[in-house]
Structure 1
Amino acid sequence: MIDAADLERLKALEGTVPDTDALLPLTSIPEIIAYVVTSCRADGADEGDIAELLVRAADLSPDAVRRAERVLRPLGYAQVSDRLRKIAGRRQHSLAPLES
């Protein structure tokens, strides 16, 4: 599980990332999530944690997270989809709070 410190560390990296067009071909939220998760698989990272960090750092709405979950599940991203469904739930305005 991720915590607030993980999220803050990720947000702090935002200014250190070089400006590049490498991800320009990715045009949707599900594509970006799938790319990042697939890239992190080689490192043995927890897919659910990576996806949750990404959507929280991007400050996505619960609706956007649910839409991404519906695209990713049929593509075989079960662990990612389970986490996205858990944090979006039926919430309207914000994702579920970080677990302590």
Structure 2
Amino acid sequence: MAIDAGDLETLKALEATVPETDTLWPLTSIPQVLAYLATWARAEGIAEDEVIELTARAADLGPAAARHAGAILGRLGYAKVADRLREIAGRRKHDLRPLA
């Protein structure tokens, strides 16, 4: 399953319905949040690379931040996630690769 614009819009619409809480306050960096989500996706049997791409796009993560997070997550054993982050960041400077 590939990420498409509809998936992104659905996530953004759901975000407005979720109350703000501080339960994830110990997660202080983008790589930490993405690692948490990847671990959750693995445990749920969901494609972790797709969860991370959807999250990165919904958060308007820039290419430099995506490459940085990918480098860290790759060293932590999240190879699929790191590959996906590198793929969507590419050599771009301002925005992630457009959705197909």
Regarding TM over 0.5, the answer is yes
1:42, distance to aligned residue in structure 2 (A): 2.1
Query: Is 1:70 paired with 2:68?
Result: no
Q: Which structure has more RCO (C-alpha within 8 Å, separation ≥ 6)?
A: 1
Residues 24-60 of structure 1: per-residue CA shift (max 9 Å, x gap): 0000000000101111222211111000000000001
SS of the aligned residue for 2:16 comes to: helix
Q: In percent, how many aligned pairs have the same letter?
A: 61
- Larger mean CA deviation between 13-22 and 83-92 belongs to 13-22
Separation in 2 of the partners of 1:64 and 1:14?
21
What does residue 13 of structure 1 align with? 14
What does residue 32 of structure 1 align with? 33
Q: CA RMSD in A?
A: 0.7
TM-score of the superposed pair, with normalisation by structure 1 = 0.95
TM-score of the superposed pair, with normalisation by structure 2 = 0.95
1:3, distance to aligned residue in structure 2 (A): 0.4
Give the total of aligned pairs: 99
In structure 2, runs of 5+ residues without a counterpart are none
Query: Is 1:2 paired with 2:3?
Result: yes
Separation in 2 of the partners of 1:73 and 1:42?
18
Separation in 2 of the partners of 1:23 and 1:83?
24
What does residue 91 of structure 1 align with? 92
Structure 1 stretches of at least 4 aligned residues deviating more than 6 Å after TM superposition: none
